[in-house]
Amino acid sequence: MSYTGPETEPPRRSPLRRPLTVALAALVPGALLGWGVYAAVGDEGTRADSAQASPAASGEHAPAGSASPDASPSPSPSGTPDASTAPSAHASPSASAPAATGPLKGKVVVIDPGHNPGNSRHTAEINRTVDIGTHRKECDTTGTSTNDGYAEAAFTLDVAHRLRALLEEQGVTVRLTHDGDRPFGPCVDERARIGNEAHADAALSIHADGSGSGNRGFHVILPGSVREGAADTRAIVAPSAELGERIAGNFVRVTGSAPANYLGGGTGLVTRTDLGGLNLSTVPKVFIECGNMRDATDASLLTSGSWRQKAAEGMSEGIVSFLRGS
């Protein structure tokens, strides 16, 4: 995600943010130690294909210190990710059937898969601007891709499906902002509106970054306090920070991935006030950049079906912890 340019601003530390190690204390005392072991021995289940994150989260991000690609290319045969552990697709394109049973029955979660595989074919439509409260911004962006051509939009949909299946096992009603069922978008303002109209108990926008090689790790983006135009995040800042910390802590524990080494001060948490998907949300919401698609090491994780399953599990356990309040 880019932090430079005419319509972005440098990330700021949230006054509510605690260091990730503090957030992890109650969740996983040995998480970072476990990551060290993981990094030393490697992930035998990952592929060598490279994978990276989107430079435009929900049409709102670009790689840190690098330009966003003009489009997210479709995966080439050599860049096709391992889908061996992908869950079967649901019949409904954007909303799951209400869960019959489970400890979290009655809870609603909105999952926002960043970008859309069709965005690159609809550049005029996604380049039109929409009001995000603080200013106007592009409807959406194409997202980034790995050097081997695995598109961020394909990555986010795959992880969203895995996450949906896990949450539904807990009885959660899950809604997706899209499921590859529309030619482009939705725009960033509509993505926020879907969560608002669902009265979601939590919302998560899934992405992967497109920063420079050598920049590794994940980070969770929290909403800053905004009150301007149509945007007023004051009521969701605190619960969103709690949601983000729980997701980050569980993501470390389950995937073994470390917080980003290029932003967030090693906490894995970044606060922003220039993203429409957060500015216009009235429900607790965060973004997660799962890794850097332009770094070969991170890309090998992002293109691995087994690692994507772990990523979904980490997100799910963070969301479930938030919903339970424990």
Find the CATH number of the domain harbouring 46.
3.40.630.40
The answer as to whether 258 is a domain residue is yes
- Collapsing DSSP to helix, strand or coil, 49 comes out as coil
The answer as to whether 78 is a domain residue is no
Distance in angstroms (rounded) separating the CA atoms of residues 32 and 34 = 5
Which residues does 2 contact at the CB level (< 8 Å), separation at least 6? 8, 55, 61, 62, 63, 64, 65, 66, 68
The answer as to whether 94 is a domain residue is no
The answer as to whether 189 is a domain residue is yes
Residue whose C-alpha is closest to residue 8's, from 53, 69, 70, 68: 68
The catalytic site residues sit at 289
The answer as to whether 83 is a domain residue is no
pLDDT in tens, the chain (326 residues): 433 332 333 344 444 444 444 344 344 334 443 444 333 333 333 333 333 333 333 346 543 333 333 333 334 333 455 554 444 333 334 544 554 589 999 999 999 999 999 999 999 999 999 999 999 999 999 999 999 999 999 999 999 999 999 999 999 999 999 999 999 999 999 999 999 999 999 999 999 999 999 999 999 999 999 999 999 999 999 999 999 999 999 999 999 999 999 999 999 999 999 999 999 999 999 999 999 999 999 999 999 999 999 999 999 999 999 999 97
Which residues does 109 contact at the CB level (< 8 Å), separation at least 6? 167, 172, 173, 174, 175, 200, 201, 202, 203, 204, 319, 323
The answer as to whether 15 is a domain residue is no
pLDDT of residue 3: 33
Residue whose C-alpha is closest to residue 209's, from 86, 100, 69: 69
| 207 beta partners | 289
Specify the number of domains making up the chain: 1
pTM: 0.77
Its domain, for residue 280, covers: 20-72+100-324
